[in-house]
Chain A
Amino acid sequence: MKSLHVSRRSDFTVGWVVAAVGLAYFINTFFVETTDDVVDPATFPRIVGVGLIVLGVLLSLSALRPVRQPAAAEATAGSATTAETTGNSVTESHRPTVAESAAEAEAALEASVAGDDAQSSSARRLRVLLYFAVFFAYLLILIPVGFLVATAVFLFAVTTLYARDKWLRNIIFAVAFSAVVYFGFKYGLGVFLPPGILG
């Protein structure tokens, strides 16, 4: 029940964020130059903006609705945790919970991850931030520093953050992979990656 609480609280916040984004999007349509057509360039964006506002508000309100069916609520909480393991982000159409067997599949998967739910979720959040920061740094230096050096440094950073003791393997992998991709793209595909400081 505790996790359910959290997911509903997040729905409440998400709803308002979506509505706010929708409002900004909607306001921005008034800066679009209009034409005499029945549908001008601003019409469709305006519909989308209003849609975001309405759906966002609905999502927030739905999070406030009292829970009637504990069984259904449990299923929601379950799907929230298993979304992690089923690879929510890599799929093309999402877990259809309409299906009974979907619930079973989730239950089975849930069993495999049970027991480590909130194991220091704040530490995990910190690691996510860290990896995103390293990734952004990589994107920023890729062109000025050049692909070979930037990539080797990035890969070494990522692998070493993950497995500190394997630093030698990490160096070899970082250098070898950067070189293979660079020369593969250059000679195999005719795509020239930024040479940067080596160029």
Chain B
Amino acid sequence: MVDKTKQPGRLRPAPENFLSEDQVKAVGAGRRDFLRKSFLAAGAAIAAPLAARAAEGDPNILENPAWTTSLGQPVATNPYGMPSKYESQLLRRESPGLARVGGASVSFCPLQGLFGIITPSGLHFERHHQGWHDIDPSKHRLMVNGSDASLLKKAKVYTLDELMRLPSVSRIHFIECGANTGLEWGNVAVPTVQYTHGMVSCSEFTGVPLKLLLEDCGVDYKKARYVLAEGADGSSMTRTIPMEMVESGEVFVAYGQNGEMLRPENGYPLRLVVPGVQGVSWVKWLRRIEVGDKPYATKDEAVHYIDLLPSGLHRQYSSIQEAKSVITTPSGGQTLLDKGFYNVSGLAWSGRGRIKQVDVSFDGGINWQTARLEGPIQNKALTRFNTNWVWDGSPAILQSRAIDETGFVQPSYGQLRAVRGTKSIYHNNAIQSWKVAESGEVSNVQVL
């Protein structure tokens, strides 16, 4: 590995990768004043000509680097492009010990390194119930039928070719697993925002409104008030969707995601999009839609994805993801390298519509300031917020609080637990707190 302390670097201390581990440790121990001195010393220690050059300015400017003085790669060297080799850290990751079998596990999206509101398709979180398959689209079929002949005039079968001929819609929506942040219902359990909140992602999906297909089959809306969506994987995941959502035109069967076809891990070639509703209802590898007159109480709405209340009752069919937000920069598992200006940034979303406002606190919720919302602010989509912060080096607790267009205000842990206790798993939308220590290390804490 290159010893970056020996490289003539920038003269001003900056939070870049040229700090050695020892220097990072020194910063961690609260010794920030050493930075300027050590850089001066480093300058003096360098061989004389280089030191002289360093005094003239930054060698990265004074000496043209290789990429400015040589021939680069031709087009289509990577016919399906990959991120820069310097971007190898941001990956989907599993949380150790969460599940015993990978086929029924979760991989978390690295929210800590993303910008804006769109999740790169390759980093979209995964949750499978019986492993994923890469399904041959020429062999995939979508069937629409009724639980009873009186609910639908004609059961029909569609191929991908046919679905892609129909009028399409493209909409940006978040998808959040009902269990996102579920590891923290009882207490703090994981270190970074990837593991606390990484079961949320946001994409532009393209497909056909389910309403169009149901009407093509002659649905009787008066009788058929529920829809069962079923997947083509081993688990044949099934979930009940209310017909109101279908009739509104919001629910659609999607084949496109961020301008390309869905990725296999996200349901290629067809999945349901149910905006605002927990991810388990967005059935992947969608193969069948059944219209019915009663809810279905499938395994994942009668054994899992039910919320245990202090009374011992389980809430069933809890589907909407209520307003929630989290600061992603800075966030847990990071270290602030120096005092000074930071653009504090994060994400907010609501299953009930648009985000109206996000407030940020630096003192654990005593005082709040309203953050800037970056555009676009879309219905049931992630919304990026940011705000200015000058860190003076003293301990701080950072929080964000989302308010959606219905006026709903994201609750604190104390408020959430007062109603739902601590034994739930799903729908944890409490305000997240990140504690900044004097050393600059940011850690996960819960403020009641």
Do the two chains belong together in a single complex? Answer: no
